[in-house]
Amino acid sequence: MIDPLFGKKILDGQGDTIVSQISPEQVKKAAWTPGLFEAFTREDSLGLPALPGQESILSLHTGQFGEAATSLPTD
């Protein structure tokens, strides 16, 4: 799920308005930390599972934290 309000929308009978794909517009509404933003706008997502529609936000990557990291720590 991409929509941070999916539970509320279901309870309010607005299930048809749930966002299921990320987009540049949805990124603006998401309360992602700068680190999550940078991770999900990288082509490799630092090893995180890809998001539906992620290809639409790859151009937003800023490289703010550099390109040295190639994956998340495993331990």
Neighbours of 28 (CB within 10 A): 8
Q: Residue 3: which pLDDT band, with cuts at 50, 70 and 90?
A: confident
pLDDT at 24 over 80: yes
Mean pLDDT confidence for 16-22? 89
Please give the mean pLDDT across all residues of the chain. 85
- What pLDDT does residue 58 have? 95
Is pTM, for the whole model, over 0.85?
no
Q: Comparing C-alpha atoms, which of 24, 31, 22, 61 is closest to residue 69? A: 61
